Amino acid sequence: MTQINLIAAMAKNRTIGLDNTMPWHLPADLKHFKAITMKHPIIMGRKTYQSIGRPLPGRQNIVVTRNQDFQLDGADVVNSLDQALGLCQGASEIMVIGGANIYQQMLPKAKRLYLTFIDLDVAGDSYFPDWHGLGFKQIDSESHTADETNPYCYRFVTLEAS
């Protein structure tokens, strides 16, 4: 059976976005994201795709949108999460990369959450759903201090459904 994982970076209040952008720049998190998602299908909403601006190389890019006329080069466009999952048959793992609505719908199906907690208070209009009380247990944590490249303290945490 294909394992569904969610990957996200968030500020202290679970903010994941503001005006369709991430309100921080953290190169170490981008490297972490690439390492975890590489060679796995990635599922994202249309707004997440548009914020990235291009298909991510080395991964099957699947974009979910209600817009029946939306088309892209280099990515599969579907109109439901069921269609997205159908395109991933045979994959050992699927990585869900956002946005908030897609995370909310996929959280109950997730086996793992790869979360980056950024020590930052920032306003947002998009939030990662609350996973507390859903039976996820921490299986890994790695803390990092700010440095010349990464302006905030941050933590990579992996949670697994029990």
Domains along the chain? 3-161 (3.40.430.10)
Q: How confident is the model at residue 51 (pLDDT cuts 50, 70, 90)?
A: very high
Report the alpha-carbon distance of residue 81 to residue 97 in Å, rounded: 13
Answer whether residue 1 shows pLDDT above 90: no
Report the alpha-carbon distance of residue 63 to residue 80 in Å, rounded: 9
For 147, the token pair is: 């440095």
Contacts of 144 (CB under 8 A, 6+ apart): 28, 150, 153, 154, 155, 156
pLDDT 10s digits, 77-87: 999 999 999 99
**% of the chain at pLDDT higher than 90:** 98
For the chain, what is the mean pLDDT? 97
Q: What's the confidence (pLDDT) of residue 129? A: 98
- Mean pLDDT of the 84-92 span: 96
User: Which residue in this structure is represented by tokens 């990515």?
Assistant: 75
Measured CA to CA in angstroms, residue 118 lies from 14, 58, 134, 145, 151 at distances of 9, 26, 22, 10, 10
